[in-house]
């Protein structure tokens, strides 16, 4: 799967979009009993939509002008019985100070209030391909088991559990995000756009096991 990740990143990302500066927006959503919905694909899409919704036209243009890639994964924390959801957005450009300030404000207000989440923005300046691979490759948590009793406490359905497991196993690849569609088309989902790729990776993994 790691070789598949590298091939997909090389073919679908680095071939057309390698930038001198990458702006990384990193979000972490802890598992609280009030926010189990945000661990679903629909919940993740809602977080992205709320974070990137801008009133200022120049900010909108800044976010939409350029390639944007989404990386979704989990990491374990001793503070919680479920893993912490991590959402990374990579803008293959340097976002303006005004847009950056607005996103930081969103992290401290909307994200904190609605999801109890935290986040930060980082500017990455590197032309080293290996470092970009390391940045984009999807982490996997093969050893983590989702306990059904704990999931029910968080009101997490079987469908959301399946989606969580796909993320945990690294089956959701790095995905190109259409920011314009995300904000303007209610039915748009980057996960639906990549469903065939996710299913293909799932088949490859289960055949290997």
Say if pTM beats, i.e. exceeds, 0.75. Answer: yes
Strands (E), 48-180: 68-75, 84-91, 118-125, 175-176
Residue 36 pLDDT level (bands cut at 50, 70, 90):
confident
Query: What pLDDT does residue 98 have?
Result: 94
Do residues 171 and 201 touch, judged by C-beta distance below 8 A? yes
Cα–Cα distances in angstroms (integers) from residue 189 to residues 60, 119, 178, 184, in the given order? 19, 22, 9, 11
Instruction: Please state the separation of Cα 125 from the chain's center in Å.
Output: 21
Q: What is the mean pLDDT of residues 188-192?
A: 93
Q: What is the mean pLDDT of residues 102-121?
A: 95
Counting the structural domains of the chain, the total is: 1
Q: What is the mean pLDDT of residues 74-102?
A: 92
Q: Match 């990579």 to its residue by tokens.
A: 90
Q: Match 């109890």 to its residue by tokens.
A: 116
The token pair that represents 166 in the structure block:
């796909």
The token pair that represents 40 in the structure block:
């679903």
Task: Determine the structural domain holding residue 162 and report its residue range.
Answer: 2-208
The token pair that represents 13 in the structure block:
């990302």
Q: What is the mean pLDDT of residues 97-116?
A: 94
């Amino acid at each position: 799967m790691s070789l598949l990740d590298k091939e997909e990143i090389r073919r679908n990302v680095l071939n057309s979009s390698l930038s001198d500066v990458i702006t990384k927006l990193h979000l972490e959503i802890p598992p609280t009993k009030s926010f189990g919905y945000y661990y679903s694909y629909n919940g993740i899409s809602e977080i992205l939509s709320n974070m990137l919704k801008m009133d200022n036209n120049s900010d909108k243009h800044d976010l939409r002008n350029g390639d944007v890639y989404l990386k979704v994964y989990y990491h374990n924390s001793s503070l919680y019985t479920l893993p912490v959801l991590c959402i990374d957005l990579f803008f293959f450009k340097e976002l303006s100070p005004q847009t950056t300030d607005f996103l930081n404000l969103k992290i401290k207000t909307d994200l904190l209030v609605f999801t109890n989440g935290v986040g930060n923005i980082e500017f990455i300046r590197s032309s080293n391909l290996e470092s970009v691979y390391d940045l984009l490759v999807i982490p996997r948590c093969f050893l983590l088991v989702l306990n059904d009793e704990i999931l029910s406490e968080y009101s997490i359905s079987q469908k959301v559990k399946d989606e969580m497991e796909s993320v945990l196993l690294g089956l959701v690849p790095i995905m190109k995000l259409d920011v314009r569609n995300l904000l303007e088309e209610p039915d748009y989902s980057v996960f639906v756009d990549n469903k065939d790729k996710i299913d293909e990776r799932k088949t490859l993994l289960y055949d290997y096991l």
